[in-house]
């Protein structure tokens, strides 16, 4: 099931059937962007019906989620993160896609994504139009994922 969900997400995000490698608890796909020849990098992990992706697309590092809920493109997302047993961090995001009950939203700063590289677990609570959900992602392999995404985005370590 995990690989099926990841393959479907890769097809939507990268527009092609995915040949991917496993890095810890993540499935990772890299390819050359046909528009600007930059490296596209996407690493996905799944928790129940929700997916999280660390991405470098067109040189931009981002953290994206695909969740089963109702929303409209452009809706604001209120987000709370917690890495391991650390403090809760608040953030904002925006719905970037809606497809058959699956909603994609994007958030995360380069600093936060870099901090994830040392974590074992990410707890996230998001609310769209006042309706909230909580999930927890197993981050095994995240240090290699963050390093790969930063390299693809040409960010210094």
Task: Give the tens place of pLDDT for each residue, 89-143.
Answer: 988 888 888 777 677 777 778 888 999 999 999 999 988 888 888 999 999 999 9
Contact (Cβ atoms closer than 8 angstroms) between residue 84 and residue 121? yes
In the chain, domain spans: 2-152
Q: CATH for 2-152?
A: 2.60.40.1880
pLDDT at 2: 44
Task: Output the six-digit token pair for 131.
Answer: 């309706």
**Residue 145's pLDDT band (cuts 50, 70, 90):** very high
Residues of the chain with pLDDT > 90, as a percent, come to 34
pLDDT of residue 19: 66
> Residue 153 in 3-state DSSP?
coil
**pLDDT at site 12:** 47
Pairwise CA distance, residues 77 & 95, whole Å: 7
pTM: 0.81
Strands 21-23 and 39-47: unpaired
Residue 1 has pLDDT above 50, yes or no: no
């Amino acid at each position: 099931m995990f690989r099926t969900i990841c393959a479907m997400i890769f097809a939507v995000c990268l527009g092609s059937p995915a040949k991917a490698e496993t890095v810890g608890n993540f499935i990772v796909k890299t390819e050359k962007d046909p528009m600007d020849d930059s490296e596209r990098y996407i690493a996905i992990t799944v928790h129940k019906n929700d997916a999280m992706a660390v991405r470098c697309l067109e040189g931009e590092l981002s953290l994206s989620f695909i969740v089963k809920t109702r929303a409209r493109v452009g809706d604001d997302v209120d987000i709370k993160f917690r890495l391991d047993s650390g403090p809760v961090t608040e953030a904002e995001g925006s719905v970037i896609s809606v497809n058959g009950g699956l909603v994609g939203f994007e958030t995360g700063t380069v600093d936060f994504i870099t901090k994830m590289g040392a974590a074992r677990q990410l707890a996230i609570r998001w609310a769209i139009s006042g309706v909230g959900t909580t999930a927890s992602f197993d981050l095994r392999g995240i240090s290699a994922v963050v390093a790969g995404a930063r390299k693809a985005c040409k960010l210094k370590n």
